[in-house]
Amino acid sequence: MSGNPKTLSQKVWDAHVVHEEPGAPSLLYIDLHLVHEVTSPQAFQGLRDRGLKVRRPDLTIATTDHSIPTTDRSLPIVDPIAAKQVAQLEQNCRDFGIPCYGMHSEHQGIVHVIGPELGLTQPGMTVVCGDSHTATHGAVGALAFGIGTSEVENVLASQCLLQRPSKTFRVQVNGSLRTGVTAKDIILALIAQIGIGGGTGCVLEYSGPAIRALDMEGRMTVCNMSIEAGARAGMIAPDDTTFQYLHGRHFVPKGADWDAAVARWRKLPTDDSAKFDREVVINGDVLEPMITWGTNPGMGISINKPIPQPSSADDPLERESLAKALAYMGLEPGKPLAGHAVNVVFIGSCTNSRLSDLRSAAAILKGRKVNPNVRVMVVPGSMEVKRQAEAEGLPEIFRAAGCDWREPGCSMCIAMNGDQLQPGQYSVSTSNRNFEGRQGKGGRTFLASPLTAAASAITGVVTDVRTLL
């Protein structure tokens, strides 16, 4: 390798700089632009107002995920505002020539599930979407980050963004995870450690034996929640696990092109002597199932540890924030969360709705019954995940246990589509955000892994899955 040693993210960045001039940010080329119904309509309107076209519809793809119902797809959308938004996306895609996997497409799904699934997201790419969980695609070694609607418009019009480089931040996860501990627990533990703003201004690179041992879907779960630590993106260097996952997927190169691509991708991992701006080390050997008790994803604890006391914080505003979170959640500090009653369990979202997530939940639920006080929704991440789950008989396991098996979408992660908590209800959710009202006004969310969610569904209380194994 010639020149200065570089990190993975620096290599991808450097390969995409189109133009640089003094006093201006870099003009960065975008290889893939993922579009959905919520953050794009105003951007398309902006193009119309300026009389602009989409520069590269062939590097752009759209799907509907946030606003659509997860009930019977043969029925029209009941909510007229959501129906209009979905129709607007489809119209915009027709008008501007963008391929769209709409509500009735066999490829429809959560945008961050279908990207890797179809092989759209590949190592070394720059990937953007008007959605903060775009970091998910970093699991394949792409530099992937969320953007606002003005930037959606910029990318539609120019295929470029004005960006300043982020700081580099290595998260080394050593050791190996114990039974009952998953990728979700790694990322919840990281966010609890560095805080919800701990990664601001940074691209995280996850490395170490515990990361290498994860399958691709687990890596996606880790990268997905990088934004919950405030990071711009999260990445994992591509390796044989990555290449095996990608090989044969629809949009991935074939034949000699595949070999050439793999040869390029093998040069992406961080150079041995490259320096990171920041580093943390996590001992994977001692991680336990994690769960959040509060109103941001940094308020997480090992499932059997007590909820922290606000007085443990040094800063007065932080003490006030902890007390406010406890009041909203209706919880007492000093007690463990395990054993707390649960009303709803949600298994889904761009964090944990892939086949391996559904398999792990089904393994716990198989031959058991959901507690009668709990409503359980299982929402596959895409039509493809749904088909694969059906081929394995997973819906029968979920239904026999008393779960509701639904159509793909963001669903109760963001509660835009009618799938929501009632005020005061508690959920154990495999999603990514526990902000006040995130899953429905007044709803209260405990974030956890699919294993913890399934275990809590059976007992009706927050449960350490290891007691059921």
Partner 1 sequence: MKPFTAFESRLVPLPSNNIDTDQIIPARFLKTTSKEGLDKQLFCDWRYDAQGNPKPDFILNTPRGQNARILLAGDNFGCGSSREHAPWALTQFGFRAVISTSFADIFKGNSLKNSLLPIVVSHEIHTKLFALPEDAKVKVDLATQTLTLPDGERVEFPVDQFMKTCLLEGIDELGWILKQAPAIAAFEKARVGAINTGL
Q: Which residues 175-204 are close enough to bind partner 1 by CB under 8 A?
A: 196-197, 200-201
Nearer to partner 1 by C-beta: 394 or 416?
A: 416
Q: Tokens 């054993």 sit at which residue?
A: 339
What is the DSSP code (8-state) at residue 306?
B
Give phi and psi for 318, each to the nearest 5.
Answer: -65, -40
In whole angstroms, give the CA distance from residue 182 to residue 347: 15
Binding of partner 1 at residue 144 (CB under 8 A)?
no
Nearer to partner 1 by C-beta: 102 or 201?
A: 201
Encoded amino acid at 443, one letter: G
DSSP 252-292: S--THHHHHHHHHHTT-SPPTT---SEEEEEEGGG---EEE
Nearer to partner 1 by C-beta: 218 or 269?
A: 269
Binding of partner 1 at residue 36 (CB under 8 A)?
no
Are residues 253 and 286 in contact, defined by beta-carbon separation less than 8 angstroms?
Answer: no
In whole angstroms, give the CA distance from residue 287 to residue 452: 14
Residue 23: which residues within 8 A CB-CB, separation 6 or more?
none
Binding of partner 1 at residue 267 (CB under 8 A)?
no
Binding of partner 1 at residue 312 (CB under 8 A)?
no
Instruction: Kindly determine how many residues on this chain lie close enough to bind partner 1 according to the rule CB under 8 A.
Output: 84
Q: Write b or e for each residue in 41-62: b if 16 or more Cβ atoms lie within 10 A of its Cβ, otherwise e.
A: bebbebbeeeeeebebbebbbb
For residue 42 the two structure tokens come to: 């105003």
The residue from 12, 32, 187, 394 that contacts partner 1 (CB under 8 A) is 32
Residues 215-254 that bind partner 1 (CB under 8 A): 227, 230, 232, 251, 253
Single out the segment in contact with partner 1 by CB under 8 A; choices: 45-53, 171-179, 277-285, 340-348: 45-53
Binding of partner 1 at residue 41 (CB under 8 A)?
yes
Binding of partner 1 at residue 317 (CB under 8 A)?
yes
The residue from 4, 42, 373, 422 that contacts partner 1 (CB under 8 A) is 42
Binding of partner 1 at residue 150 (CB under 8 A)?
yes
The residue from 389, 414, 455, 457 that contacts partner 1 (CB under 8 A) is 414
In whole angstroms, give the CA distance from residue 122 to residue 345: 33
* Phi-psi category of residue 330: left, alpha or beta, with phi > 0 → left and psi -120 to 50 → alpha: left
Binding of partner 1 at residue 369 (CB under 8 A)?
no
Single out the segment in contact with partner 1 by CB under 8 A; choices: 61-69, 181-189, 304-312, 376-384: 61-69
Are residues 70 and 419 in contact, defined by beta-carbon separation less than 8 angstroms?
Answer: yes
Nearer to partner 1 by C-beta: 335 or 441?
A: 441
What is the DSSP code (8-state) at residue 376?
E
Report the nearest approach of partner 1 to the CB of residue 282 (Å).
22
Report the nearest approach of partner 1 to the CB of residue 247 (Å).
15
Site string for partner 1, 84-113 (x = CB under 8 A): xx--x---------xx--------------
Nearer to partner 1 by C-beta: 31 or 185?
A: 31
In whole angstroms, give the CA distance from residue 140 to residue 324: 38
CA distances from 162 to 141, 152, 165 (A): 21, 12, 10
Binding of partner 1 at residue 79 (CB under 8 A)?
yes
Report the nearest approach of partner 1 to the CB of residue 85 (Å).
5
Report the nearest approach of partner 1 to the CB of residue 83 (Å).
9
Measuring CA to CA, which residue among 109, 76, 6, 51 is closest to residue 349? Answer: 109
Nearer to partner 1 by C-beta: 131 or 288?
A: 131
Single out the segment in contact with partner 1 by CB under 8 A; choices: 81-89, 106-114, 281-289, 448-456: 81-89
Nearer to partner 1 by C-beta: 215 or 436?
A: 436
What SS3 state is found at 194? Answer: helix
Report the nearest approach of partner 1 to the CB of residue 150 (Å).
4
**How many CB atoms within 10 Å of residue 317?**
8
The residue from 174, 437, 466, 468 that contacts partner 1 (CB under 8 A) is 437
